[in-house]
Structure 1
Amino acid sequence: MSNSRIIFHPKMFLSFLLVLALAISFGTAAFAATSAAATTTQVVIKLKLGSGQMTVDGVASTVQPPFQQKGVTFIPLSVLTKGIGAQLQLTDNKKMTLTHSASLKVVMATGSKTAYVNGVQKTLPAAPVVVKGFMMVPLRAAELLGAKVAFTASTKEIVIKGARAATAGGQVGIDTDAGKSKIGDSYFKWSMNYPTGLAQSYQSGTGDFIAFQDVKKNYYLSISVEEAKDPLTAKDQRDYLEGYIDDETVLNVKEITLPSGNFQTMVTKSSDGFYYEYRAIQANDRFYILMFGKSAKAASELTANKPLLDSFAPQFDAKNAALKDLSKVKDGVVTYMDADYGLTIQLPPEWEEGYEDGVSYYNGDASITFEITSLKAGDTLDAWVKRQTEAFNNRVADKYKEPTVVSDIVWNGVPAKLVKFSFTQDGTTWTDYYEIFAVKGAYKYDTGYTYDRDGESNQGDILGILQKSMKVDFANVEKTFGQVPDAADDIDQNKTVTKTSKKYGYSVTVPEEWTTSGMDMERDTATFDAAGFNFVIVMEKGSTMQGYPEMMEKAYTSSGIWKVDSRTNETFAGESAVKMTLSPIVTSTAGGKITAYLVEKNGGIYLIQAAVSDASATDFNLKRIEEAFKSFKFNG
């Protein structure tokens, strides 16, 4: 449950990794781009900001135009699906699972900067968003699928190079109760006739998406509700509907008028023999999308279900005894329960359940996490808290943090510590992270609440919920769980390990916590990660130093993000080398520094590079980076 690479809570420092993401994408990616083509099928995708044209290996197609927002470049999701070829699975209209190959799967969700690559948490510079019905994702998402990206500010051109993808719960019945003939949701304010013959197959945590299906899976019905306070024109609504269509042929588009309002409709046919009718209406500051699918031979067969679809209305009559309320929002809150953890928590409906393993909840940039790990013999609550606060201070520069505040509280009837960590990446935007530490029996309980200080999350209300109304069944935990080691307990910050590459003839000594188990040093690229910085070694066979530093300088600076501060001739690991130092241009607020050495040896060029954000440039971190540089040596 705990991150084995750092000894403080990983969600505290998501934003600190952004500078490093840029460093790798425009540093090592540029270096690797000069290598010979890989054995896998490669694809080159080109787009331009504001342009609706994309070319894939020179073949043009139409896409939603890329754009920039707050310094982040967004591209349409179709770049990853149609361009790279990743298979898309959409859950709850928000969670996107992109399968590139049997060994590479990426999960993202709208409203969240958190992504997962084969289950490993990563951070996007911004959350995916829906624009005019099209899903737009940060350009960084392409890198999660193994692609290299480049953006030329002067021409606004985006180039993505990568390998083409290798691959171009039980049902719950609706309790009809006596006399119930309609269903609806009192919170989201909709109702419709009871869908006879269909059973509820899924409902999101808040109830903003609900689906029904028959036993033979020949029929499908779903209702999706999204916030939409700004008026949407008929065209806006149709554009939004098109975002739901995947591998379907549009057969008919029209507006219909019913007693409940004007609906935009689309009839489509999919390749699997299903015909769908989509209906959309804006009301109650929300956008409602009704989707009905049927295995049929012709679209005309959908008309048999017209009475059911016509019965849908964006309203809920609480006085109607025949109307069954399916809402998950009761008395203004949603109750989440996790039987394994013995956990019950009630949250406002703006919060949603997380998708990753463990327990988590999200509301925009705010998040709540809950973890249970085993208590090691001799460990105590005070010692645990001390380790966490020391790690925070070691890894966050003074200018980018505020003093931690530790308070004694009672949580679920046991003594606990409430610790407030506050930090910033750019000196302007601050993040507050409250962490509740508790020990009961054989286990440690870690509850975290993270939010942007300038965000909309109500700090007091959520802290009150976590401290007072969040319930954990300790007896159930003791019964359910066995040994759940906290990998962070075994991390020795001062322990180092020497990693050797026999194929490329070098060795380097780094802190053990920078490494991962099974790390392959026989690849041409070795990456050592830590919170807020990384250390990378790349070897490119067949290259010489002639013109190489100039090429690298151009590669670094072409992104429009980095500038070269110095380029000098040095001795590194006993060899002649070119040393380059870079920092962000003035318009970048995150800061940071890249230090890179280029050495020609063994029939190729070695790049040894460290990239660190200003927020992570502590004496503790800088000393370890410098020691890693000094430890590098060529073998034989």
Structure 2
Amino acid sequence: MKRNAFLKMGSALLACSVVFSAAVPAWADSAAADKLIFKVKTGSTAAYMNGKQEKIVKPYIDHGTVMVPLGLFKRTFGSEVRLENSNVVKVTYGAHAISMTIGSQLAWVDGRKVKLDAAPAMVSGTLMVPLRLVAEGIGASIAPESTGSLVVSLSPSDDAVDDEDVGIDADLGKTKIGNSFYQWTMNYPSGLILGGGEQDESIVSFSDSEDTYYFEVHATDQDVKLDADELLSMLVEDAKDAGEIVVDRESFSQAKVPYARMIAKDGDGTFWESRMYYNNDRLYEVYFADLKATNYKDLKKYAGLLNSFNTSYNASDKTVKDLSTVKKGMRREYNDDYGISLDVPAGWSIDNTNMYYEGKEGSYLSLNVSSAPKGSSIEQWSQELQSWLKDSFVTDSYQIVSTSPIEISGEQGLVNEVRYNYGDGWMTEYEVMVLHNGYRYYAEYSVPEKQKDDLNKFKDLMKSIDIDFDVVSDTFGNMEEDAFLINRSKTTTKTSKAYQYQISVPQYWTANQDKFERSPVEYQFVGGRFRITAEKSTSLEATVSQLKSYYTEAAKYQKDLKVEKTENITFAGEPAVSITLHQVKDGIPYSARQILLQKNDIVYTISTSLNDANATASQKDALEQALKSFTLTEAK
């Protein structure tokens, strides 16, 4: 079951977790009324936090950098600390935000890239971070004492809650936790530890400081309304699929927000209470594990915590600690490898590794960095993109609107505005180009024309992009070309010894499956696909008969499917059958062809498809040349 996604990472995850609600001591002197202060000394386990001495993991010096426990900032200043994907640590205080990665010497401070002399590291289960980076990053000052101690002081943020507001927990008066974007809240017990989660905050996990329980909260968009009984059925089916024993179950159809609960024992003997709610067009799931329970009834002591879960969020309730990083509908994202940070609309899927971000209605933003050909200009690049569009779309399926200047992260660039239509509706695309120090920085923002709100986001998204141009030149040498700008006449010859064939594949095609000693292999390109299947356990006659029967039956229910031609041909020197058809799928009309042949005991099926909107002379010629290059080889 998906609830185990983070728990199964074991003690390594919990060791990397950051204490989320360690108690903030009462201020011990009058100076603390104006400033929050902690004092540490390298090699000493004693730390003074707002006048109170506490024991910590010893600070140490690494490459000239003083490293201290990250928890000092949380416990002294009330800084918000979260751990994402088990290794990305984010610290926020007021308007300041710091992002660090365990083991990495790159960090972000208020959207600015910083290179570290020493990387954050786990020491005996405690996360140690550079003192100066975090302290100065949140606005604190550092002063040395004659004793060798370092005093870190900070004026309280205007956003901080007064001490008298402290409730069941001492985290700046917060008695509840929640997520303002996903609209949920629940009680905030003492000793709570924030664990891993998804980058889009749709999943968050917690445990307690005593390692007695663990739980996750999931929030997923769900358009189809589900009642309490349907929710219970989903819980039970999930448990059975996971091989768990269901020991208790119940649905609550009369509750303000109908929900279902179930208790099951997993294969490790752990008792889980799982709950599902449907509200706000979302499915909410709460998975709670009592790590000490010996009977399902032991979970009753956590009923108050579980019953406090609420599928709503009151922004005016100052007792709620908001776990969301969404600000004004945007979430800040980073790619350390290329030195790029940017705002992404909340609710979009996030792939920071590939710098690809996509909305639910078809809009997307994609970024790419590549080497610039020697001597090339940004104007040439702009023309290359326009030529690619002309080669990829037929005349009535694209428009080149304009080319205009744009500024990205302080650099002058160009933006092509174009429109294209695969057949299911027009898309507006902005192709943003920046050329710097021999590298091409490219952003592609594509929006269905009906999505006016997303179209209006373009300027703000581009303004949000911040690039540290030194990162790429320091990290990379010569990078690969953009696949869609490769000369379309260039090919690569591929050979399959296992299936005894050879073919020349255009280099601008993108491989989906290209292990030629296996079957199938598949490539895609703009508006088309190419696929080779080789099977040894069948005959040509049987394969052709089966395919014809399929199309005959499918045509009865798919009015837009038409088999245009079936003929016997010679292909690669062997008798073959060619089937050509035309179909409209998801509003996109396309032509497809399948060529079937057999040699020895291997039946080959070569399938091609090409959208009508992309059936240019260039595209059709690439397909034809690939088919002509297919040859059968002798077994060795």
TM range (shorter): 0.5 to 0.7
Task: Provide the C-alpha distance between the structure 1 equivalents of 2:321 and 2:312, rounded to a whole number of angstroms.
Answer: 13
Give the Å deviation of 1:282.
5.2
Task: Provide the C-alpha distance between the structure 2 equivalents of 1:633 and 1:389, rounded to a whole number of angstroms.
Answer: 35
Residues 429-462 of structure 1 deviation map (CA, whole Å, 9 limit, x = unaligned): 23333221111223221112223223x4613432
**Aligned counterpart, 2:189:** 195
In structure 2, relative to structure 1, the CA distance for the partners of 1:293 and 1:343 (3 Å cut) is same
Task: Provide the C-alpha distance between the structure 1 equivalents of 2:276 and 2:371, rounded to a whole number of angstroms.
Answer: 50
Give the Å deviation of 1:222.
2.4
Q: Does 1:368 align with 2:352?
A: no
CA contact (8 A) 1:599 1:607 kept: yes
Q: Does 1:386 align with 2:387?
A: no
Task: Provide the C-alpha distance between the structure 1 equivalents of 2:364 and 2:327, rounded to a whole number of angstroms.
Answer: 22
Q: Does 1:277 align with 2:273?
A: yes
Specify the SS of the correspondent of 1:330: coil
**Aligned counterpart, 1:309:** 306
Letter in 1 for 2:610: V
Task: Provide the C-alpha distance between the structure 1 equivalents of 2:251 and 2:533, rounded to a whole number of angstroms.
Answer: 58
**Aligned counterpart, 1:48:** none
In structure 2, relative to structure 1, the CA distance for the partners of 1:532 and 1:308 (3 Å cut) is same
**Aligned counterpart, 1:407:** 404
Q: Does 1:531 align with 2:526?
A: yes
Give the Å deviation of 1:199.
0.6
Give the Å deviation of 1:225.
3.4
**Aligned counterpart, 1:182:** 176
Q: Which runs of 5+ in 2 are unaligned?
A: 7-85, 92-168
Q: Does 1:225 align with 2:222?
A: no
Q: Does 1:252 align with 2:248?
A: yes
Give the Å deviation of 1:395.
2.0
In structure 2, relative to structure 1, the CA distance for the partners of 1:335 and 1:260 (3 Å cut) is farther
CA contact (8 A) 2:227 2:259 kept: no
**Aligned counterpart, 2:459:** 464
**Aligned counterpart, 1:37:** none
Pick from 434, 452, 475 the counterpart of residue 430 of structure 2: 434
Residues 475-524 of structure 1 deviation map (CA, whole Å, 9 limit, x = unaligned): 44444555443353883321244545566665444434448699555557
Residues 204-224 of structure 1 deviation map (CA, whole Å, 9 limit, x = unaligned): 445443220246755212233
Specify the SS of the correspondent of 2:456: helix
CA contact (8 A) 1:389 1:404 kept: no
**Aligned counterpart, 2:563:** 564
Specify the SS of the correspondent of 2:588: coil
In structure 2, relative to structure 1, the CA distance for the partners of 1:483 and 1:285 (3 Å cut) is same
Give the Å deviation of 1:197.
3.1
Give the Å deviation of 1:271.
1.9
In structure 2, relative to structure 1, the CA distance for the partners of 1:88 and 1:615 (3 Å cut) is farther
**Aligned counterpart, 2:610:** 612
CA contact (8 A) 2:512 2:522 kept: no
Letter in 2 for 1:326: L
CA contact (8 A) 2:513 2:523 kept: no
CA contact (8 A) 1:372 1:445 kept: yes
CA contact (8 A) 2:418 2:428 kept: yes
**Aligned counterpart, 2:333:** 336
| Greater RCO (CA < 8 Å, at least 6 residues apart) | 1
In structure 2, relative to structure 1, the CA distance for the partners of 1:614 and 1:236 (3 Å cut) is same
Q: Which runs of 5+ in 1 are unaligned?
A: 1-86, 93-168
Letter in 1 for 2:372: L
- Show the 5 A alignment for 1:464-503: 464-486=459-481, 488=483, 491-500=486-495
Q: Does 1:345 align with 2:342?
A: yes
Specify the SS of the correspondent of 1:290: strand
Letter in 2 for 1:398: T
Task: Provide the C-alpha distance between the structure 2 equivalents of 1:467 and 1:445, rounded to a whole number of angstroms.
Answer: 12
Task: Provide the C-alpha distance between the structure 2 equivalents of 1:485 and 1:323, rounded to a whole number of angstroms.
Answer: 48
CA contact (8 A) 1:504 1:539 kept: yes
Instruction: Say which is worse superposed, 307-316 or 359-368, in terms of deviation.
Output: 307-316
In structure 2, relative to structure 1, the CA distance for the partners of 1:503 and 1:285 (3 Å cut) is closer
Task: Count how many residue pairs are aligned between Structure 1 and Structure 2.
Answer: 471
Q: Does 1:238 align with 2:235?
A: no
CA contact (8 A) 2:182 2:202 kept: yes
**Aligned counterpart, 2:72:** none
Specify the SS of the correspondent of 1:592: strand
Give the Å deviation of 1:594.
2.8
Task: Provide the C-alpha distance between the structure 2 equivalents of 1:300 and 1:527, rounded to a whole number of angstroms.
Answer: 54
Pick from 286, 289, 295 the counterpart of residue 290 of structure 1: 286
What's the Cα RMSD here? 4.1
Letter in 2 for 1:223: V
Specify the SS of the correspondent of 2:245: strand
Residues 563-610 of structure 1 deviation map (CA, whole Å, 9 limit, x = unaligned): 4322334444555544332222x7874322233444455466554443
- Show the 5 A alignment for 1:139-218: 169-170=86-87, 176-214=170-208, 218=212
